[in-house]
Amino acid sequence: MKRNIVFLAVATSVALSAVAQTPEAVTPKGVKPAMTLVGSGPLGYECKNTDGKFAWAGPVPNAKLTDKAGKEVGKYVAGPKWELADGSTVTGKQVAVSPAAAGSIPLQLVDASGGTKQFDGVVNIQRINTKGGVAPADVCDAKSVGTKKEVMYSADYVFFKK
């Protein structure tokens, strides 16, 4: 019994610590977390010339989604769009970002729409705990326009309902 209480206290402390470290800019208000999935895989970038300025455009996701047990349950693709194996889908529009650790894509808050099945009622999606995924360090210049690169990343996606 004592061991269970200690474990529960440590687990609660770790969970609260993660929440406390999430910047307010990407924390939705008046909603509750309904599901958390891990996205991992490639983010695509393409070297482009926009008005004489060369830069890596993207990212375009093509990642798998896994549940807390590590089982693959769906995918995260351009849109942005989250799709589960049972046909559940939701799309979103970015409303806020906040810097992440060096070398990692920003934390993000998305307004969700069109949720079906398990995603029915989802109003916000939060991307936290990002690792990797920033644009390639390779040179993007006139010679490399059109070059495509993939960069691996992972992040937690928290789906919120009212």
Distance CA 152, CA 91 (A): 22
Which has the closest alpha carbon to 35: 98, 125, 108? 125
Amino acid present at 138: D
pLDDT for residue 21: 76
100-129 mean pLDDT: 98
User: Is the four-CA dihedral 145, 149, 154, 157 of positive or negative sign?
Assistant: positive
Please indicate whether residue 123 or residue 9 has the higher confidence score (pLDDT): 123
pLDDT for residue 12: 35
pTM over 0.75: yes
74-99 mean pLDDT: 98
Band (140; pLDDT cuts 50, 70, 90) = very high
Q: Is the pLDDT of residue 7 over 50?
A: no
pLDDT for residue 3: 45
- Residues of the chain with pLDDT > 90: what percent? 86
Q: Is the pLDDT of residue 2 over 80?
A: no
Q: Tell me what the pLDDT averaged over the chain comes to.
A: 91
pLDDT for residue 29: 96
Query: What are the pLDDT digits (tens) for 22-70?
Result: 999 999 999 999 999 999 999 999 999 999 999 999 999 999 999 999 9
Please say whether the beta carbons of 137 and 102 come within 8 A. Answer: no
